[in-house]
Amino acid sequence: MESKDLFTWKQAPPWAPGVCFLCLFFSNCVFSYSNLSLLWKMEIGLFFFVLPLSALVGWNLRARPLPEANFSVSPWLWAFLLGGALLLRIYRLDFLSSWPVVDEGRYGYFATRLEQGWNWNLAHSPLYISSVYCWILYVSFRLFHNSLLSLWLPPALLGWGCLLFFPFLNRKIVPVSTALYSLGWMAFGFWPLYLGRFSNQATFFVFWECLVLAVLLSCLEGSTVDSSPKGWWRWGGLALLTGLGFYTYLVWPMAVLLVFAIFFSRWMGPWSLRLLKNPITDGFFNAPRLRLGALVLFTLGVLLPALPLLVSMSRNYQYYLQHLWAFGTPEPFWERFRLPAAYLKGIFWGFPQPGHFSLGPLWGGLLSPVQTACFSLGAVSLSKPACRTAGAWLAAAMAVFSVPAFLTNNLEFTRLCGLVPFLAYVSALGVRELVAAFPPRKAAVVFSLFLTGSLLLDAHQLFQVYPEVQKSFPGYYGLHKSPEHEEAYVLLKPLAQKEGPGLLLLNGVPDPFDQTLFAASYSFNAAQNRQLNPQSASWAAILANIHEQPYLSKIFPGMEWKWLSEGLQREDGGLMLAVIPIDEASGDRIRRWAQADRSLEALTDSVMEFGVDPDQSRMLGILERAYPFFKGDRILESRYWRLWAIHQAAAGRMDLAVQGEEKAVRLGYPMAHLYNEWGCLLFKEGRPADSRKAFGEALRLNPNCTNAAVNLHNLSLPQNQ
């Protein structure tokens, strides 16, 4: 019998998808979980990944459409998926992370400020924080009171809300098995669940993306353009929702590009090409004019809702965009592909060991090996002649949502969150390929095995690997999370439950960007919460530098304190928490300190809104107006002039910053961290001899928990003479 080449078969044998899946699953497990050498992984990838996929592509190029291997699904199963997904999202919201990261603290800060006085700012901070998401947090705080749980509840509910659109997204497009798998992964898969455990804009973005996709598919129903009033209303609603999407997340322009591409291809069609060739002879004033008018109206419908935000961003947020921009650096051309490769590897196979915090995976990829294998099969299935149009659009959509990986200069997986619905859909197409060869009953069993296997791997990473890695690798979060603030909250929360609200003085720290403690403690902080009576507080808590401890102990003999930064090697010694009972002896002084702390609220707010602005006139003006509350108290004087020096240095005025540190020592108390910072500023001003004296003074003081000895040693090196 004459043998035939495999690629001349018109239809893949029934066993082909299953064998290909096993090869892909094996190779993905090796890539994700093994420590084999690169050479071994390349060989395994060639024989168990590239070759099986290539064979399947060859078959699919001439493949006939598969029969729909569908099976019936009880409505109770859909209800179980939705109900189970909701319970899993709201159960133990603090399980994955017991303390917010700094970005979550920023969201909580701006939402809490709305309780103190409403404003209509469209965005906050140089990092472009969506005000709409802060409004959502504000509603959560008002309904459930300010707490960590009410901070984490909105993203959990928004993540669950995405599921409500999936039955519609799959309606009239795919069989039930595909719809059920995509919904199952969105309900219980690692990446969707993981995104919903952090209070940021990513889940809000995915929720709005699913809403827009649902409306878009509604507009695309039918084989021709619907120019009826109902059709116009649909397209108008799509334009409005697309424009409002700018208020979700910074990467929304990628979604706008996709919507415009679909709209243009649908409404303009062949007329657009004819207009470009000969607009007069091809009826420019007839049907094409209607389509051009539709394009103009649709564009206006998208831009008008977004215009206020775009104007605001053009004024205040250029620095952040420039900071993220990947181009304009002397980096070699090929080095620019290292970051996109890291994104690709993190999504499908993960990293060999924990790196810095990037909202990425810690065990395997964001997709499990089962999910990755199914995604590969689904992507290959789109090469069939009957699926090429849908495949081209899906490839274009995923390419568009992957653009931030090429345009930004650091790793943060939330920027690719727009891929989540498409990953779910393409993976479900792969499952469809696997179950198509089985009769309905067996297909349901095979389908259940695939879904269960994938979700078990995802659950293991989410609920077992993540907590263990964070405990054994405490530096994972790095600067993204403050262990000092978390420990302070652990100490203060039981005290508030026992003694009632107290006065928490948090505004005097030199780095106000971390507002996690402010957001978490607002419900029992009578110094900030306007609904609490500060006069009834029986205790006060102060975040102070550890070198202030001897002086605070003399001023408040009944004070209890804890060195929060012990063992963290902070350059200035770090923070301590001082808890002071309010009685007749301490009451007057504590109330004055509370006034001084309150006078810095505007300073904290300005720093949070404008960041390290070279124009420090606003911040320095606030400090000048606040000085009467600090004057004459040596602890407060030290704090005040230290802050004053920091803002002068931020403005580039080193001579004035040096004067500030000098006043902090002279008008306040001589403390090691002040002398150490003074020495650093003197060195920057070009005065090494004076800098050496300042470091020497820091070393003579007790306590001294600074890095003054290291600085003095570095100053003695030849290049610093």
d(CA 199, CA 181): 27
Helices (H), 500-610: 516-521, 549-555, 587-599, 601-610
Element (H, E) at 545: strand 539-545
How far apart are the C-alpha atoms of 285 and 485, rounded to whole Å?
Answer: 67
Dihedral over Cα of 8, 12, 13, 17: its sign: positive
Angle of CA points 511, 512, 514, to nearest 5°:
95
User: DSSP E strands: which ranges in 224-322?
Assistant: none
pLDDT of residue 431: 85
Q: What tokens does 662 get? A: 């000098």
Going by C-alpha positions, the residue among 132, 195, 133, 125 that lies closest to residue 160 is 195
- Which CATH code fits 483-720? 1.25.40.10
Q: Concatenated DSSP letters for 77-140?
A: HHHHHHHHHHHHHHTTTTSS-SS--HHHHHHHHHHHHHHHS----SEETTTTEEHHHHHHHHHH
The encoded tokens of residue 580 equal 């002071």
| pLDDT the model gives residue 286 | 43
Q: C-alpha distances in angstroms, 80 versus 45, 74, 77?
A: 38, 10, 5
Q: Output phi, psi for 364, to 5 deg.
A: 75, -160
* CA angle centred on 107, ends 165 and 254, rounded to 5°: 45
- Dihedral, CA of residue 383, residue 384, residue 385 and residue 391, to nearest 10: -40
Bridge-partner residues for 717, per DSSP?
none
| Residue 373 CB contacts under 8 Å (≥ 6 apart), including other chains | 21, 24, 25, 28, 430
Token pair in block for residue 573: 């010694």
Judging by beta carbons within 10 Å of its beta carbon (0-12, 13-18, 19+), is residue 9 exposed, middle or buried?
Answer: middle
Q: What residues contact 593, with CB distance under 8 A and at least 6 apart?
A: 505, 540, 542, 633, 636
Tell me how far apart the alpha carbons of residues 663 and 565 are, in angstroms, rounded to a whole number: 26
Cβ atoms < 10 Å from Cβ of 583? 12
CA–CA gap between residue 376 and residue 516 (Å, rounded): 41
Q: One-letter amino acid identity for 489?
A: Y
Do 198 and 150 touch, CB atoms closer than 8 A?
Answer: no
Cα–Cα distance for residue pair 136/143, rounded to 1 Å: 11
Say if residue 628 is preceded by a cis peptide, omega within 30 of 0: no
Cα 21 to Cα 48, 186, 514: the distances in Å are 10, 21, 47
Check residue 225 and give its pLDDT: 54
381 by Cβ neighbours in 10 Å (0-12 / 13-18 / 19+) ranks as buried
pLDDT for position 7:
35
pLDDT along the chain (721 residues), means of 10: 40 75 91 87 88 80 56 73 89 84 93 88 80 94 92 95 77 66 88 92 94 86 57 84 92 92 73 40 46 80 88 63 62 73 91 76 90 91 79 90 86 92 90 78 79 87 82 78 93 95 92 92 93 92 95 93 92 94 91 94 90 85 95 94 94 93 94 95 91 93 93 79 58
In whole angstroms, what is the distance from residue 417 CA to residue 167 CA? 20
Closest CA to 96 of 167, 174, 147, 156: 156
Side chain identity at residue 484, one-letter code: E
Alpha-carbon distances, residue 253 vs 160, 257, 258, 320, 631 (angstroms): 24, 6, 9, 16, 51
Q: Are 542 and 556 in contact (CB under 8 A)?
A: no
Residue-level pLDDT at 274: 40
Q: Pairing mode, if any, of strands 503-505 and 123-124?
A: unpaired
- Walk across the sheet containing 503-505 and list its strands: 503-505, 539-545, 575-581, 560-563
* H/E element, 12: none
